[in-house]
A and B are shown apart, each in its own frame.
Chain A
Amino acid sequence: MPTVAAVGFDILNRGVSAMDVTLDIHRIGGAVIDNLRLKPREAALVVPGISVLRCDLPEEAAAQMRTAFSHATDLHEAAQTVASTSEELILAAGFDIIHMPSRTLPNHYRIIHPDGVTGFGDENLAKLAAAFTTTTGH
């Protein structure tokens, strides 16, 4: 399981520094703000949030997409790029994460914000994006 030594990493001056975090939370498609933005339907959830997968490696998340949705060609293309982070870094960015297992994806989680939809503004999303490490070629 990959870790990142987050020495000096201080996205909100909240003391997220000099610690090792495990990047076991993954968002298909990378950490650009547009990929972290709530879609209208997600914004209408009782607890608004975006989907992520929790597993050891980004390539596992990509492989899970290819296996679970074997003919979702657009998703497969997106899964070549995966953004990875940790629960600690999500919390430090001002967001939170909850486990929302589904039948097909038991390791499905949702990134949420204490302020709900308004918490997903661009300023906060920039902080969230900074909490991710993006890898490609999966």
Chain B
Amino acid sequence: MTSQTARLLDPSRAVVAVVTVTDETDRFGGTIDLSSTPPTIRAVFDEFEEIVNGQMFSFLDEVEAKVAALGLIAEFPDGTTAPVADLQVYPTAGEVSFRAAVAVG
């Protein structure tokens, strides 16, 4: 399966992370480089990881809403962009998955 490097952009089109992902049929998954991620966004990703890996699922809806509210957009190498949905970022492991309404070959 071919991996592709994409960029995650905020609503102002600033780059907040770079991901290397493969099309996993129902979502994209792979690794994420958070070196350009603003602290406020990184904090949301850290919280998401803490909730999931800590099995604190009573807070899952809340943290998922925070991630969705970031309004991130995936920009693929061919210039295609698409809103990101169900974004899951695990900063400690450097892992990421998300859904985007584009086809990646």
Contacts and interface: CB of A to CB of B under 8 A. Distances in A.
Nearest to B53: A74
Contacts of A108: 57-58, 60
A96 to B, nearest CB: 15
B90 interface: yes
Interface in A63-122: 69-75, 78, 100, 102-105, 108, 110
A45 interface: yes
The B interface is mostly helix, strand or loop, or mixed, namely mixed
B9 to A, nearest CB: 20
A39 interface: yes
B52 interface: yes
B56 A103 contact: no
B90 A73 contact: yes
A124 to B, nearest CB: 19
